[in-house]
Amino acid sequence: MMGKMSPYITLVYKQKKHKSKIHHEGGKAPIFGDKFTFDVTSATEDITMRVWDLDLTTSDAVGFCQIKIASLIINGGVEDWFDIYFDNKNAGSIQLRTKFEPKGGDQYENMLKEY
Looking at residue 50, which CATH number applies to its domain?
Answer: 2.60.40.150
Residue 63: per-residue pLDDT: 96
Identify the burial level of 52 via C-beta atoms within 10 angstroms of its C-beta, where 0-12 means exposed, 13-18 middle and 19 or more buried. buried
92 is a domain residue: yes
Closest CA to 16 of 33, 44, 36: 36
Over residues 28-83, the pLDDT tens digits come to: 889 999 999 999 988 999 999 999 999 888 999 999 999 999 999 998 899 999 99
What percentage of the chain carries pLDDT values higher than 70? 87
46 is a domain residue: yes
Q: Does this model's pTM top 0.85? A: no
9, 18 contact by CB (below 8 A): no
2 is a domain residue: no
Domain count, the chain: 1
Domain around 52: 7-114
- CA dihedral 113→40→99→85, nearest 10 degrees, is 160
Residue 3 has pLDDT above 80, yes or no: no
What confidence category does residue 111 fall into, taking pLDDT thresholds of 50, 70 and 90?
low
User: How many C-alpha atoms does 53 have within 13 Å on its Cβ side?
Assistant: 16
Residue 102: per-residue pLDDT: 80
